[in-house]
Structure 1
């Protein structure tokens, strides 16, 4: 295009390569490139804070399986993204974050910081538009790195270079640049060894993690497990990968059901596909029996027994199998799995007056939410209850914002998912009151966009993890506690309908009309006053991990 600037060329290039949605907050350093993305066909969604914008891009990417895009100003615009950027880096979410940058010669600029090292320090990759001549290639390189390395890439656009005229594009060069590398094929000898071990196993478990979700490996892993009589389980981030399977025992780790905690240590072979089996997933090793063999299938050579894509490796192992074997798979065990999930485990439902037991709240939500719901879960003391009691139809509908264990990211992630899913389907943000206060401004974003979003706040008016951990030790926990706040009224002030929930009947009344209203009804916030005396069972493990 005649007269294009570098900023316009970069935006056009990324739109051409598939950027359909971009989240951001406008400043002088990113306005032109963002407008160019929109002119190229992308839709722009304005957040109220840069941390929220990157969280939204993260949620969009996890839901769709595509690269997420965000756009922010230089300096403070970038520093405001760091918590969400770290979460995305640790979760291996592919993002491209466009960030303005001060000119190299602007030594006294108020915005001047070392953006490159700042970005790299939290696990993201730093890229830069180096010149007008290389602008399109620089943009493509950042996009491809996000895809290939599955992590956030921050593409910095120096202000002085943005304004320079961009040279005409070479179509042949553009076509040559846009080549995405395929994952490596698993080593045949290694596959033969794993197939032999699997054939000899009597009680195998196939456990899927984030890598299996990314590889869309659920169907292949189900076939492999059925062939070999294996049980199925997931890490917390891969919840939903095996939904509906009769031999899926759910999440392994601190959120494991009593039945799963009984069965997993009996396994003689654990095949972990795209899961590192860290202390969270194994309960510090307690869920792996002393005689069990563990085999990791992963693209990361640092952790892998077999380096390979989860789906391709599962199919290769299935091709090496001979006769199918029953293994664990009996009708009696299937009946136990169906009747001994967390929703079936009894508990003493006797909350303090004016409060609701968080397990009652979660079970009631599970019974009322539509089957195709998506759920984003923030970090905090409450985190396990939605993970244990709520269900999703597939792993792309489960967004577990806990890779960095940072409170306050769940709402932004849920907004990104809601944008991806459209106005016909319900998305839930499960938050604590602490995380809600850290992201309050994005309630206005949800209201402005009229999203089909249900915000459920597990409100114990405290940082509950610290209260329940330190109070029994005799430590003063008053600094972690707050006076009760009317979050329903605060939501109303920001344009979101808010309802206080103190019982299952309150929940029924609030949800009946909202769920029935369908698309266009806008978001709803439920301020659920959960009993602050109820401590999460997984809390001891969480503090043990540090």
Structure 2
């Protein structure tokens, strides 16, 4: 096991937490093979680290935990990884085969419940082939796979051989010619078309092909949250499609008759529960059949890679020698005021509190170019997502399962993937308290992590919903200890700010490379944005 992992990882990390099921090979992996092991404080944290590392690199991550409760502790993080399509091998193990072992759990059933794949080693001779199989499945399916290595085979002797994991080829699924002709006809005949790019378009490198297609068929471009800023700076760009859309985008979307998506699942947030696509012709392109009509009916579906589909449409248009004139509305879109603005709000900073929007824009401005940016989930996102600019290939959202608290460990994993630039995390106070223990992991591993805690001393969503149920929002308040002081106790650098001037020491720390760094921003819970910043705050 140790030698296999050392050869397969080739200096890349294994994340985990030791116990009876894995300490034997992890010890040998570090001592005998010189492997890189990052020990998490919690098993769920280890899986989130693997998730973040996989998303940051596009490669298969490796996580190792022990029996029973160690595995069940990973459930939320594993579900997040499964829903985010992260390639990850989770090495676990069945308990000793004795009657009614107190740590027994049905690992295969657990994997199915989390949405992960499952591979089991049944005999010592199967160990190496099943390792190969788990890694191949995780890569091919872009999904977590649990490998069950029973306790009973750990001390068995087998002859070693190197990993035999096939190199993955042929992931670019090409569209069939008939579908290309049909879709092109629809786009050319559209009165107001719109092209929407998702994470699949980012992964396939489809930016230029989609932009050229957009210009050829007179279609503005928009993105999902996961592809945020994919077309930033382009005259056709209208930003995020959905509940975070700008006024300029909303105005154009009102008259759209055909929407074509590339590598986007078109979830409820992207489509405002499908209201934004109702009464429009929807053309959906994706490599994953499960994404088609997942949240509402597509009129035309094409199973194809985003870049391949966009390029095929362009090539067919050129072959047809059809001439299209630039539509007047494209000039109107390009000239729309505040089309790409990130400052469409009125600041509430003052009286000992910082507007979260000011804080997130500030951090975004002081990060070095190429920094990885990670977001937890919570009410604070309305103060973050519309107001920062990201590289969509280095943008990670740890909220596919809607669980707060996964962001810190996810960011630790992303930071472990890159040491040339910082990884920045935006997290609310509730999520930070749930995950701050893994800041200690970043300290021990010496990782370039910047953790901005947007602290309004309450659970934000509950602050709002308590009102709906007729209760006082103060029931959501929690008098946390100072996050900055907790961070210092863990060995991190830390700054606590109640005004913008107090953020300057954090800027100096980032410039000097003093990491990990926690920045605690003190905010007024009554003045936190409850909707995108372009809309006046209300109840």
Does the alignment reach a TM-score above 0.5? yes
Quote the offset at 1:240 in angstroms: 3.4
Aligned counterparts of 2:187 and 2:29: Cα–Cα separation in 1: 50
Q: 1:429 aligns with which of 385, 409, 425?
A: 425
Quote the offset at 1:362 in angstroms: 2.3
DSSP-derived class of the 2:342 partner = helix
Quote the offset at 1:471 in angstroms: 1.8
Quote the offset at 1:447 in angstroms: 1.6
- Cα deviation digits, residues 245-290 of structure 1 (max 9, x gap): 3322222122222222222233222111111212110112343363
Query: Kindly tell me: are residues 12 and 516 of structure 1, through their superposed partners in 2, closer, same or farther at Cα, counting changes over 3 Å?
Result: closer
- Cα deviation digits, residues 465-519 of structure 1 (max 9, x gap): 1111222542244442212431111111111112111122222x1233112213x
Aligned counterparts of 1:169 and 1:447: Cα–Cα separation in 2: 36
Aligned counterparts of 1:471 and 1:266: Cα–Cα separation in 2: 36
1:266·1:289 contact (CA, 8 Å) conserved in 2?
Answer: no
Aligned counterparts of 2:139 and 2:281: Cα–Cα separation in 1: 33
Query: Kindly tell me: are residues 191 and 419 of structure 1, through their superposed partners in 2, closer, same or farther at Cα, counting changes over 3 Å?
Result: same
Quote the offset at 1:188 in angstroms: 1.9
DSSP-derived class of the 2:101 partner = coil
1:542 counterpart residue number: none
Identify the range of structure 1 (150-159 vs 183-192) with the bigger mean alpha-carbon deviation.
183-192
Tell me, yes or no, if structure 1 residue 117 matches structure 2 residue 109.
Answer: yes
2:140·2:168 contact (CA, 8 Å) conserved in 1?
Answer: no
Q: 1:44 aligns with which of 31, 37, 45?
A: 37
1:532 counterpart residue number: 525
DSSP-derived class of the 1:341 partner = coil
2:334 counterpart residue number: 334
2:139·2:168 contact (CA, 8 Å) conserved in 1?
Answer: no
Aligned counterparts of 1:231 and 1:499: Cα–Cα separation in 2: 42
DSSP-derived class of the 1:359 partner = helix
Aligned counterparts of 1:40 and 1:311: Cα–Cα separation in 2: 41
Aligned counterparts of 2:54 and 2:116: Cα–Cα separation in 1: 15
Identify the range of structure 1 (509-518 vs 137-146) with the bigger mean alpha-carbon deviation.
509-518
Aligned counterparts of 2:112 and 2:502: Cα–Cα separation in 1: 47
Quote the offset at 1:409 in angstroms: 0.7
1:267 counterpart residue number: 256
1:2-401 aligned at under 5 Å gives the runs 7-8=1-2, 10-11=4-5, 14-15=8-9, 20-35=12-27, 42-103=35-96, 105-169=97-161, 174=164, 182-288=171-277, 290=279, 292-304=280-292, 305-322=301-318, 323=323, 325-327=325-327, 330-336=330-336, 339-347=338-346, 349-351=347-349, 353-392=351-390, 394-401=391-398
DSSP-derived class of the 1:350 partner = coil
1:56·1:417 contact (CA, 8 Å) conserved in 2?
Answer: yes
Quote the offset at 1:161 in angstroms: 1.5
Aligned counterparts of 1:374 and 1:179: Cα–Cα separation in 2: 26
Structure 1 regions of 5+ residues with no counterpart? 1-6, 540-546
Quote the offset at 1:76 in angstroms: 1.7
2:495·2:506 contact (CA, 8 Å) conserved in 1?
Answer: no
Aligned counterparts of 1:131 and 1:10: Cα–Cα separation in 2: 17
2:412 counterpart residue number: 415
Aligned counterparts of 1:419 and 1:140: Cα–Cα separation in 2: 24
Aligned counterparts of 1:375 and 1:440: Cα–Cα separation in 2: 17
Aligned counterparts of 2:274 and 2:105: Cα–Cα separation in 1: 43
Aligned counterparts of 1:464 and 1:133: Cα–Cα separation in 2: 53
2:68·2:103 contact (CA, 8 Å) conserved in 1?
Answer: yes
1:458 counterpart residue number: 454
Aligned counterparts of 2:52 and 2:81: Cα–Cα separation in 1: 9
Aligned counterparts of 2:472 and 2:344: Cα–Cα separation in 1: 33
Aligned counterparts of 1:136 and 1:169: Cα–Cα separation in 2: 8
1:498·1:524 contact (CA, 8 Å) conserved in 2?
Answer: yes
DSSP-derived class of the 2:496 partner = strand
Query: Kindly tell me: are residues 478 and 309 of structure 1, through their superposed partners in 2, closer, same or farther at Cα, counting changes over 3 Å?
Result: same
Aligned counterparts of 1:214 and 1:186: Cα–Cα separation in 2: 17
Aligned counterparts of 1:102 and 1:181: Cα–Cα separation in 2: 39
Aligned counterparts of 1:445 and 1:458: Cα–Cα separation in 2: 21
1:129·1:135 contact (CA, 8 Å) conserved in 2?
Answer: yes
Structure 2 regions of 5+ residues with no counterpart? 293-300, 533-539
DSSP-derived class of the 1:165 partner = coil
DSSP-derived class of the 1:382 partner = helix
1:148·1:180 contact (CA, 8 Å) conserved in 2?
Answer: no
Aligned counterparts of 1:207 and 1:19: Cα–Cα separation in 2: 38
DSSP-derived class of the 2:234 partner = coil
Query: Kindly tell me: are residues 451 and 207 of structure 1, through their superposed partners in 2, closer, same or farther at Cα, counting changes over 3 Å?
Result: same
Query: Kindly tell me: are residues 436 and 276 of structure 1, through their superposed partners in 2, closer, same or farther at Cα, counting changes over 3 Å?
Result: same
Identify the range of structure 1 (211-220 vs 124-133) with the bigger mean alpha-carbon deviation.
211-220
Quote the offset at 1:178 in angstroms: 5.4
DSSP-derived class of the 1:408 partner = coil
1:3 counterpart residue number: none
Aligned counterparts of 1:70 and 1:328: Cα–Cα separation in 2: 54
- Cα deviation digits, residues 191-220 of structure 1 (max 9, x gap): 211121122224322211122233333333
Identify the range of structure 1 (197-206 vs 490-499) with the bigger mean alpha-carbon deviation.
197-206
Q: TM-score, normalised by structure 1?
A: 0.88
Query: Kindly tell me: are residues 183 and 385 of structure 1, through their superposed partners in 2, closer, same or farther at Cα, counting changes over 3 Å?
Result: same
Aligned counterparts of 2:99 and 2:248: Cα–Cα separation in 1: 62
2:232·2:340 contact (CA, 8 Å) conserved in 1?
Answer: no
